[in-house]
Amino acid sequence: MPPTLLSLHNVYKTFGGLLAVQDIGFEVIRDTVVGVIGPNGAGKTTVFNLITGSIKPDSGKVIFLKKPITGLKPHSIVNKGIARTFQTIRLFSKLTVLENVLSGCHTRMEAGLVASILRLPSQRREERKFIDRAMDELEFVGLESKWQHPADSLAYGDQRRLEIARALASDPQLLILDEPAGGMNEQETIKLGDLIRKIKKRKITVMLIEHDMSFVMDVCDKVVVMEGGLKIAEGSPMEIQKNQRVIEAYLGVDDENGY
Amino acid sequence: MLEFLEQLTNGLARGGIYALIALGYTMVYGVMKLINFAHGELFALGAYLGYCLLVSSNLIGGLGPVLAIGLTIILVMGLVALAGHLLEKVAYRPLRHSDRLAAVVSALGASIFLQNAIMLTWGAQYRAYGANLLPNLLITVGGLKIPLIRIVVLFSALVVMLGLRMFIHRTRLGLAIRAAAIDQKAAKLMGVDVRQVITVVFILGPALGGLAGLMVGLYYGQITFNLGQLYGLKAFTAAIIGGIGNITGAMVGGMLLGLIETLGAAYISVGWKDAFTFLVLIMILIVRPTGILPERVVEKL
Amino acid sequence: MSDCPTRKWPSLVGTGAAAAAFLAIPLFFKAIGLRSGPYWLDLLNTVGLYTILALSLNVILGHAGMFHMGHAAFFAVGAYTTAILNLNHGWTILATMPAAFLAAGLLAAILAGPIIHLRGDYLLIVTIGIVEITRIALSNNIFGLTGGPNGLVGIARPSLFGFRLSKPQHFFYFIWFMVGVTYVMFYFLENSRFGRALKYIKEDTVAAESMGVNTTAYKLIAFVLGAAWAGVAGAIYASRMRTISPDSFTFEESVLLFTIVILGGSGNQKGVMLGSFMVIGLPEIFRGFQDKRLLVFGAALVLMMIFRPQGLFPPTPARVKLSDAWSNKLVEPATNSESDDG
């Protein structure tokens, strides 16, 4: 039985009296790609925000590597090995591509205030090492030649890939992608699928939210379906496609994203 | 007890003045998200224009106190409103789409400019409205003697504030101002003419500030060119205490501040008078980062 | 001089030459027998002092993006710490400098805790409050130590290895040496893990936190560091003026520093230095218009924000040196980089 990397147990979250997420629980198995789908407003992004610490659950537990991470600050959760991208791109748009990736390295670097001000040899060694590391991540997503460009000068698809490189630079065990294919054309989406498979090969577990069903069914090993803050189904892509409740939810509530 | 009531009424009058100035800050901030640092200087301009009309031109001698004060109020409010309008056109309108920091610095620049323009025009020394400008009437209630001017200041501040509240809540333009304060973009989409709202806000706010300046002259008797700075800071603090962008909050905050300051000076220490304001501000912001009354404007995450 | 890892030798040589020429100014004045020499040197000293202050504010405002308009408060704490230790306890000026650093930093650490999370404008007004409270506290002779409105008189001059700094040219070298130290220190800081973290916070705090930056801690440390360094500037100021009073540490002083940083180009140290020259130096040159100086300054601020809001020298992209391996790899046209998915 493969070990569980992340699990959620009976997680609840309300916003101003509205139940955004209720009694959510599921497991993420190491080295798999898990998709979270559901109509708009189903609570998918809320679940991601609960895992990454952007918001705190009202009750319930999030367990990562057998330890509770519920209520920790986002930065310490990154340090524990969970990295994320955002639904709307949130790069440091005025900084260079390389500087953006170096932000991911931050949590794995150690140089403190004094070492930085005095530019101690140890600090310079570390800088060199992580600049190389950041360049490797850029190469991984195919952006190494653009390392000096300001992030906001990149094409949309490249910005998405840069966000992924930035997250990978934090050396995560779990990578969380919020609508990575959003706004991408067909070609870019195919490349993204390849990239996610490459990430999986690096023994990094991936969770993603997506509306593009063919994409989800293509890259995911497991799919969690949410509706109205509840988990309504969970299983392999094949099982999900046949699930009666899922079909109803999609046809009944949100035919725009229907499948 | 009598002394306490004396201080209380004094604090309320002072608070009324702060509230009038704070309204200008809060309206501009609500609509434009800009600390209009020059607002304090517009207030000082009001004080000096009043000085010009009442003392230099001796309107009272010509028209008698009631008519003279009435005319002065209208002229001061009108002229300061005009100055506010010009200020918006020159220093803020070109920056409407730029960085917020740029607007803040432009506001600081405008404030420095206006303060020095006032100094160059009227000089750096104190200017006295004079104690005998108005008949020195005392009203006696029980054993308590209250100068008439104090009652006039407090009363007119309250009337103006109630008027503003009615305007904001009962008229179409008022509704537009509130809408623009909640969400400028959405208001624009719903057909609110945001430019017009900004224009109106930059006329109303300075008019009230100018009136407050006149009141300071009449109530305290003397003015100086950097009057606007301290009053401005305190009034802005009042606006924040009340929850910036919130009209009622500015009134409550101003009154509260006037009371705290007057009572603090009377019963704690005169030397620390100006510090109370900021101590209270810091304490309130630590406990409630958006002020006593909730801010109408929620910044998007 | 320190060995900055600059690749372009000509620029390093140019900078060195300019610095040498600048440091030769007192000798030049002496050589030509300029009678107003001491006056101009004094002015340059003032500019230097403001440069140190503005560079320290730049860490907070320019790099971390916190709207801090109360820097004069920490400047004051440094100056008073030096004055009190020197006058009451006979410490030498140099010995008081670390104390000034610690005192200003300590006050900043105490104050910053509860206010650091306030956003933009609230932080602005609270820091203005801090500078006002500090000034009022000093005027009220707090703890019976600050001498009230008249301040403290008779602070000693600094001595270095038995040499007592007393003339403007002595202070010129002392102050500009400190400017150099400040510049290099914060240059290193800017181009490090720490400095980058501040840049991320300024750009997008939420994203910075999500990338693993402890945003609260970094803002706090930046604030304390900038404040502490303003304390050092205060120590220098106290020993240069020999008399300090609350009037020197007003809200206006803070505004001046704020505008220097913004005008120069928030975040760019060269810009901030130029800003000090322009805001402090230029008005002195036009002393003839003494009373209209501030009027012009105010108008210039407005115009500047309308026509060049990014400041004179906006921050430039970070210069990062790649390893040789990577540089060589990138020089060769990477023909297969598009399809090397393996």
Chain A positions in Cβ-Cβ contact with residue C330 (cut-off 8 Å): 144-145, 147
Chains in contact with A, where contact requires at least 3 CB pairs less than 8 Å apart: C
Residue A102, helix vs strand vs coil: helix
Residue B193, helix vs strand vs coil: coil
Q: Report pLDDT for A251.
A: 61
Binned at pLDDT 50, 70 and 90, residue B296 comes out as very low
Measured in angstroms, the CA of A95 and the nearest CA of chain C are apart by 7
Query: Who contacts C293 (Cβ-Cβ below 8 Å, separation ≥6)?
Result: C283, C286
Q: Which residues of B96-116 are buried (b: 16+ CB within 10 A; e: fewer)?
A: eeeeebbbbbbbbbbbbbbbb
DSSP code of residue A116: H
Paired sense of beta strands A18-29 and A4-15, if any: antiparallel
Query: Who contacts A25 (Cβ-Cβ below 8 Å, separation ≥6)?
Result: A7, A8, A9, A10, A11, A60, A231
Kindly calculate the radius of gyration of chain B based on its CA atoms and give it in whole angstroms.
19
Q: Report pLDDT for A220.
A: 94
Query: Who contacts A163 (Cβ-Cβ below 8 Å, separation ≥6)?
Result: A85, A86, A89, A90, A91
Number of other residues whose CB lies within 10 A of the CB of residue A25: 13
Mean pLDDT of chain B: 86
Residue A152 and residue A158 in contact, taking contact as beta carbons nearer than 8 Å: no
Q: What is the CATH number of the domain that holds B26?
A: 1.10.3470
In a mutational test of the B interface, the residue from C61, C127, C292, C305 whose CB has the highest number of chain B CBs within 10 Å is C305
CB pairs under 8 A between A and C: 138
Residue B149 domain-assigned? Answer: yes
Measured in angstroms, the CA of A213 and the nearest CA of chain C are apart by 24
Ordered structural domains, chain A, with CATH: 1-81+172-259 (3.40.50.300), 93-171 (no CATH)
Return d(Cα A162, Cα C71) in angstroms, integer. Answer: 38
pLDDT (mean) for B56-73: 83
Chain C positions in Cβ-Cβ contact with residue B25 (cut-off 8 Å): none
Q: How far is CA A64 from CA A81, A173, A201, B213, in A?
A: 9, 10, 21, 62
Measured between CA atoms, the residue of chain C closest to residue A83 is: C211
Q: Report pLDDT for A11.
A: 93
| pLDDT tens string C316-327 | 877 788 888 888
Q: Residue A95 and residue C195: Cβ atoms within 8 Å?
A: no
Q: Report pLDDT for C84.
A: 94
Write out the two tokens for B162: 């109630």
Chains in contact with B, where contact requires at least 3 CB pairs less than 8 Å apart: C
Q: What is the DSSP string of A167-204?
A: HHTT--SEEEEESTTTT--HHHHHHHHHHHHHHHHTT-
Chain C positions in Cβ-Cβ contact with residue A127 (cut-off 8 Å): 192-193
Write out the two tokens for B104: 């803040």
Residue B300 domain-assigned? Answer: no
| pLDDT tens string B267-290 | 888 888 888 888 888 888 877 766
**Identity of the residue in C67, C129, C294 whose CB atom sits nearest the CB atom of B116:** C294
Binned at pLDDT 50, 70 and 90, residue C8 comes out as low
First to last CA, chain B: 50
Binned at pLDDT 50, 70 and 90, residue C10 comes out as low
Chain B positions in Cβ-Cβ contact with residue C309 (cut-off 8 Å): 95, 98-99, 101-102
Residue B297 domain-assigned? Answer: no
Residue B295 domain-assigned? Answer: no
pLDDT (mean) for B105-122: 93
Measured in angstroms, the CA of A145 and the nearest CA of chain C are apart by 7
Amino acid at B141: V
Binned at pLDDT 50, 70 and 90, residue C332 comes out as low
Which one has a higher pLDDT value, B79 or C125? B79
Return d(Cα B239, Cα C5) in angstroms, integer. Answer: 50
Q: Report pLDDT for C333.
A: 58
pLDDT (mean) for C61-83: 94
Q: Residue C139 and residue B271: Cβ atoms within 8 Å?
A: yes
Q: Residue A54 and residue C210: Cβ atoms within 8 Å?
A: yes
pLDDT (mean) for A220-239: 92
Q: In what order do the strands lie in the sheet with A67-68?
A: A18-29, A4-15, A59-64, A67-68
Binned at pLDDT 50, 70 and 90, residue C6 comes out as very low
DSSP code of residue A236: -
To which H or E segment does residue A25 belong?
Answer: strand A18-29
**Dihedral sign for Cα atoms in the order C174, C176, C177, C181:** positive
Measured in angstroms, the CA of C305 and the nearest CA of chain B are apart by 5
Measured in angstroms, the CA of C120 and the nearest CA of chain B are apart by 9
Binned at pLDDT 50, 70 and 90, residue C2 comes out as very low
Q: Which residues of B39-63 are buried (b: 16+ CB within 10 A; e: fewer)?
A: bbbbbbbbbbbbbbbbbeeebbeee
pLDDT (mean) for C153-160: 87
Instruction: Give pTM, 2 decimals.
Output: 0.89
Query: Who contacts A112 (Cβ-Cβ below 8 Å, separation ≥6)?
Result: C194
pLDDT (mean) for C53-73: 94
Range of the domain at B240: 2-287
Binned at pLDDT 50, 70 and 90, residue A225 comes out as very high
Q: Any bridge partners for residue B10, and if so which?
A: none
Lowest-confidence region among C48-62, C129-143, C325-339: C325-339
To which H or E segment does residue B260 belong?
Answer: helix B247-267
Residue B293 domain-assigned? Answer: no
Chain B positions in Cβ-Cβ contact with residue C124 (cut-off 8 Å): 35, 104
Residue A5 and residue A172 in contact, taking contact as beta carbons nearer than 8 Å: no
Q: Report pLDDT for B299.
A: 33
Amino acid at B197: V
Q: Report pLDDT for B16.
A: 92
Q: Report pLDDT for C109.
A: 95
Contact with chain C for residue B277, Cβ under 8 A: yes
Residue A2 clears pLDDT 70, i.e. is over it:
no
Write out the two tokens for B166: 């009615």
Q: Report pLDDT for C288.
A: 66
Measured between CA atoms, the residue of chain C closest to residue B34 is: C121
Residue C321 domain-assigned? Answer: no
Binding-face residues of C in 30-89 toward B, CB within 8 A:
67
Binned at pLDDT 50, 70 and 90, residue C85 comes out as very high
**Identity of the residue in C255, C262, C300 whose CB atom sits nearest the CB atom of B101:** C262
**Identity of the residue in C139, C251, C295 whose CB atom sits nearest the CB atom of B113:** C295
Measured between CA atoms, the residue of chain C closest to residue B275 is: C133
To which H or E segment does residue B252 belong?
Answer: helix B247-267
Binding-face residues of C in 168-227 toward B, CB within 8 A:
206
Chain A positions in Cβ-Cβ contact with residue C200 (cut-off 8 Å): 92, 95, 103, 106
Q: How far is CA B128 from CA B50, B71, B135, C175, in A?
A: 11, 20, 16, 45
pLDDT (mean) for A204-214: 92
Measured in angstroms, the CA of B102 and the nearest CA of chain C are apart by 5
pLDDT (mean) for A228-237: 91
Contact with chain C for residue A93, Cβ under 8 A: yes
Which one has a higher pLDDT value, B99 or C57? C57
Residue C182 and residue C55 in contact, taking contact as beta carbons nearer than 8 Å: yes
Q: Please name which of B282, B267, B244 lies closest in space to residue B11, comparing C-alpha atoms.
A: B267
DSSP code of residue B124: S
Q: Report the number of distinct structural domains present in chain C.
A: 1
Measured between CA atoms, the residue of chain C closest to residue B90 is: C302
Residue B245 clears pLDDT 90, i.e. is over it:
no
**What is the 3-state secondary structure of chain C?**
CCCCCCCCHHHHHHHHHHHHHHHCHHHHHHHCCCCCHHHHHHHHHHHHHHHHHHHHHHHHHHHCCCCCCCHHHHHHHHHHHHHHHHHHHCCCHHHHHHHHHHHHHHHHHHHHHHHCCCCHHHHHHHHHHHHHHHHHHHHCCHHHCCCHHHCEECCCCCEECCEECCCHHHHHHHHHHHHHHHHHHHHHHHCCHHHHHHHHHHHCHHHHHHCCCCHHHHHHHHHHHHHHHHHHHHHHHHHHHCEECHHHCCHHHHHHHHHHHHHHHCCCHHHHHHHHHHHHHHHHHCHHHHHHHHHHHHHHHHHHHHHCCCCCCCCCCCCCCCCHHHHHHHHCCCCCHHHCCC
Residue C241 domain-assigned? Answer: yes
Measured in angstroms, the CA of C25 and the nearest CA of chain A are apart by 29
Residue C42 domain-assigned? Answer: yes
Q: Please name which of B146, B151, B164, B128 lies closest in space to residue B20, comparing C-alpha atoms.
A: B164
Q: Report pLDDT for A252.
A: 57
Residue A191 clears pLDDT 70, i.e. is over it:
yes
Query: Who contacts A23 (Cβ-Cβ below 8 Å, separation ≥6)?
Result: A10, A11, A12, A60, A230, A231
Q: How far is CA C237 from CA B292, C102, C146, C184, C243, in A?
A: 41, 16, 16, 21, 9
To which H or E segment does residue A11 belong?
Answer: strand A4-15
Residue C323 domain-assigned? Answer: no
**Identity of the residue in C119, C132, C266 whose CB atom sits nearest the CB atom of B274:** C132
Return d(Cα B69, Cα B76) in angstroms, integer. Answer: 10
Q: Residue A116 and residue C194: Cβ atoms within 8 Å?
A: yes
Residue C104 domain-assigned? Answer: yes
Residue C272 and residue C91 in contact, taking contact as beta carbons nearer than 8 Å: no
Measured between CA atoms, the residue of chain A closest to residue C340 is: A142
Binned at pLDDT 50, 70 and 90, residue B131 comes out as low
Mean pLDDT of chain A: 90
Mean pLDDT of chain C: 87
Measured in angstroms, the CA of C337 and the nearest CA of chain A are apart by 6
pLDDT (mean) for C3-18: 67
Lowest-confidence region among C42-56, C111-125, C183-197: C111-125
Q: Report pLDDT for C342.
A: 34
**Identity of the residue in C114, C125, C305 whose CB atom sits nearest the CB atom of B240:** C125
Residue B35, helix vs strand vs coil: coil
pLDDT (mean) for B2-21: 90
Q: Report pLDDT for B293.
A: 60
Return d(Cα C58, Cα C65) in angstroms, integer. Answer: 9
**Identity of the residue in C132, C137, C292 whose CB atom sits nearest the CB atom of B120:** C292
Q: Any bridge partners for residue C119, and if so which?
A: none
Chain C positions in Cβ-Cβ contact with residue A101 (cut-off 8 Å): none
Residue A116 clears pLDDT 80, i.e. is over it:
yes
Measured in angstroms, the CA of C79 and the nearest CA of chain A are apart by 24
Measured between CA atoms, the residue of chain C closest to residue B107 is: C302
Chain C positions in Cβ-Cβ contact with residue A48 (cut-off 8 Å): none
Residue B299 domain-assigned? Answer: no
Residue B11 and residue B263 in contact, taking contact as beta carbons nearer than 8 Å: yes
Q: Report the number of distinct structural domains present in chain B.
A: 1
Measured between CA atoms, the residue of chain C closest to residue A93 is: C203
